[in-house]
Amino acid sequence: MDVGAVFSTFLGNLTIANITTISARSGAITKRLNKDFYATESETAHSFYAGSYGRNTKIKGSSDLDLVYVLPYETYVLYNSYSTNGQSALLQSVRNSILSLYSSTAIKADGQIIEVSFGDGMKIEVLPAFLNDNGTYTHPNSNDGGKWAVTDPKAEIEAIRKRNDACNKNLIKLARMARAWRSTWAVPISGILVDTLAYQFIENWPYRDKSFLYYDWLSRDFFKWMSEQDESQDWWRAPGSGRYVYGKGLFQYKAKRCYNISVEAIDNAGKSQDWAAKNKWREIYGSSFPD
């Protein structure tokens, strides 16, 4: 089995196919908000992608998309002056702006974001925010009477980018493969925790600068490392921002099972039993892995 070619095909199968639709819809939302809050018609100014799409770790089949929209400071002053829950009023204002664009689409203000749910299953979550002097962003949280919170998505994006560049682009590919594993095995783990653990693991992996030829070992060693994480740990720190990332449940047992399966896959490949090796990798990663 040509390990490099097979894993390269696998990663290609995970590539997002609807980038044009994503760009068109997020551009339309940005343009509408820019009209209402800046009196401009740019489809790109004042917004950027966050979450897995912003970190470039998103894979085909996941529908949610995070879009940060940066509002003018005067808007913060206005809604911060409200006597009660100006955060909720701000979210409703942004929702109403988007609703004027997509009048027949399900749009709701939900705590911190405006959720735009399209008929084809795509969901764009718009986070209204204000740029702070230190590069972080203040955003509304309408829960519990309303408050302001701070987030730092660009620091996370930059941390992932830097480490990915330092390890021959292998970090992002590992995070994408881990997402396929998460989906196939219903692993109780969030996307940001996937990225955080991949980020931590690859820093000290001895072959982090190698090519696709090492991706069978990359998979095996990552699952082993994951299986050995302390089961009592319930939070981690996200790359770049340092924010707390909380676990959703134990992932160690399923990682251990997949470590054992990956050992079998590598052993089968070593015996020139390519069909058996591929079946083992498909057992781990699902139907996106080539047969």
| Spatial distance between the Cα atoms of 128 and 253, rounded to a whole number of angstroms | 39
Predicted local distance difference test score (pLDDT) of residue 270: 83
The CATH number linked to 93 is: 3.30.460.90
* Residue 28 CB coordination number (10 Å): 14
Predicted local distance difference test score (pLDDT) of residue 271: 87
Predicted local distance difference test score (pLDDT) of residue 61: 86
Q: Is residue 131 located within the same domain as residue 221? A: no
User: pLDDT tens digits for 146-160?
Assistant: 999 999 999 999 999
Q: Which two tokens stand for residue 219?
A: 């998979």
Does 128 map to a domain?
yes
Q: Is residue 212 located within the same domain as residue 138? A: no
User: pLDDT tens digits for 59-78?
Assistant: 998 779 999 999 999 999 99
Does 165 map to a domain?
yes
| Spatial distance between the Cα atoms of 6 and 1, rounded to a whole number of angstroms | 8
Query: What is the enclosing helix (H) or strand (E) of 89?
Result: helix 86-99
Does 2 map to a domain?
no
Which of 151, 169, 201 marks a domain boundary?
151
Q: Is residue 127 located within the same domain as residue 165? A: no
Does 203 map to a domain?
yes
Q: Which two tokens stand for residue 266?
A: 């590598």
Local structure of residue 39 (DSSP, 8 states):
S
To the nearest 10°, report the CA torsion of 155, 54, 179, 19. -170
The length of the chain, given as a count of residues: 291
Does 279 map to a domain?
yes
Q: Is residue 273 located within the same domain as residue 184? A: yes
Does 7 map to a domain?
no
Predicted local distance difference test score (pLDDT) of residue 87: 97
Q: Is residue 139 located within the same domain as residue 197? A: no
Does 186 map to a domain?
yes
Q: What's the domain count of the chain?
A: 2
Predicted local distance difference test score (pLDDT) of residue 282: 98
E strand intervals along the chain = 47-50, 64-70, 106-110, 113-117, 123-131, 137-141, 147-151, 235-237, 244-246
Does 188 map to a domain?
yes
Predicted local distance difference test score (pLDDT) of residue 180: 98
Instruction: Kindly tell me the sign of the dihedral angle through the C-alpha atoms of 211, 217, 219, 221.
Output: negative
Tell me which residues of the chain have a pLDDT lower than 70.
1
Q: Is residue 116 located within the same domain as residue 187? A: no
Residue with tokens 């409200």: 82
Q: Domain range holding 95? A: 19-151
Instruction: Kindly tell me the sign of the dihedral angle through the C-alpha atoms of 48, 52, 55, 59.
Output: negative
Q: Which two tokens stand for residue 280?
A: 């083992």
